[in-house]
Amino acid sequence: MIGADQKYAAELLTRGELVAIPTETVYGLAANALNEDAVIKIFEAKQRPKFDPLIVHTHDINEFEKYAVVESDIVYRLAEKFCPGPITFILPKRDVIPGIVTSGHDTVGLRIPNHQLTLDLLKNLSFPLAAPSANPFGFTSPTTALHVQNQLGEKVPYILDGGKCEVGLESTIVKVVDNDVEVLRLGGISVEEIESVIGKKVKRVKTSSSNPTAPGMLSSHYNPGVKVEFGDTQKLLSEHKNKKVGVLAFDSNRFENFENVIEVKVLSPTGSLSEAAQNLFSYLRDFQKSNIEILITEPVPEKGLGLAINDRLKRASVKS
C-alpha cells in the first residue's frame, strides 16, 4: 500500500515490520536497525545476500555516537557541510548495532537522509532505520513509490510516498583512516566536493568488491532487466547491427541513422550531470518495457557526479 501516513509508518516499524521510505537518493527498504528479526525481513524481501552490509539512517549527527565511535573531526566537518545529504560514514560500530546489519564487520555505515518526510519519521522513532535500496537485490534502484510497488509489491506492508527522489543516485560512502578520506562508493556527493572540505586529495580505493565491507560495493549491480553494454556507442552499435537496440545517451540523440536503434533516451539534453543522475535509474527501468534485445550506454563526462553515473553504468553491464 502506498500512502503518506507517517504515523502509520512509525507504528509498523515499531512492530518490527518493513516500510519503504523516501530519501533524496533512492527509496529505502527500512526496518528497526536494532531489531535483528526486523532486519532479517529486509534480506528476505530483497533476496539480498547476508554478506552485503546495510546503511543505518538517523536524523542528526549527534545520534552517531549512540551507534558508532567517531574518532576523527573530519567526520564532523564533512557532516556539517553535507548532512542531511547523500553521504554515508563508515565508523567503528557500538555493540547496540546487531552483527546482521554490518554482515559481521566491526564497522557500520551511518547517514542522515535529506528528505523532510523521512527526517520527521526518524525524529519520532526511538531507534534508527536500516535501509538499503527498496528493490530486489541486484536490480535498478527505485526513485518513486510506484517503482517500489512494481518491484517488491506485497513484500512491503507500506510505502511512504515522498515523491520523486531529487538526487537519484545513492549516497557517497566514505571512511576516515589516519586522517585520510577513502571513498568506498561514488555517489551523490562528488570527490571534488569532499576534497574542498578536507583541503587535500581523497585516498581513492576500489569502489566494487565481491566481498564488500561497506554497502553498495558489489561489482555486479543495477540490472535493469535487459542486457547492458557500456562504452563506445558507435562501435557497440556496429557490433550489434542485427539486434534490436536501445541507447541511453548523455546529452543528445545522435543515433537516428542506425536502423537497429528502436529507442533512445537522453539523460540530460542540457548536459547537466545533476539532471542525468536524477534520471538515471528511472530511464534504465523504462527500457524493461521496450522491445529491445540489448541496451547500449555511453559514458558521461568523467567529473563530479559523472564519476558516480559511470560507476553505475559499468556495474549494470557486468555479468553476474
Q: How far is CA 176 from CA 55, 71, 119, 225, in A?
A: 17, 9, 25, 36
Q: Report the largest interatomic distance among the alpha carbons of the chain, rounded to a whole angstrom.
A: 60
Pairing, β 158-160 against β 129-130: unpaired
Tally of residues, the chain: 320
**Gap between the terminal Cα atoms of the chain:** 32
Q: Is 25 annotated as a binding residue?
A: yes
Q: Which of 143, 150, 110, 115 is nearest to 6 (CA)?
A: 115
Q: Is 133 annotated as a binding residue?
A: yes
Query: CA dihedral defined by 210, 224, 240, 229, rounded to 10 degrees?
Result: -30
251 contact partners, CB below 8 Å, separation of at least 6: 266, 267, 268, 269, 270, 271
Q: Is 103 annotated as a binding residue?
A: no
Whole-number Å distance between alpha carbons of 205 and 225: 29
Q: Is 285 annotated as a binding residue?
A: no
Neighbours of 296 (CB within 10 A): 29
For residue 318, what is its C-alpha cell? 557486468
For residue 4, what is its C-alpha cell? 503518506
Q: Is 115 annotated as a binding residue?
A: no
For residue 20, what is its C-alpha cell? 519503504
Residues tagged in the binding site annotation for L-threonine: 25, 57, 111, 131, 171
Residues tagged in the binding site annotation: 25, 48, 57, 107, 111, 131, 133, 141, 171, 185, 222
Residues tagged in the binding site annotation for ATP: 48, 107, 133, 141, 185, 222
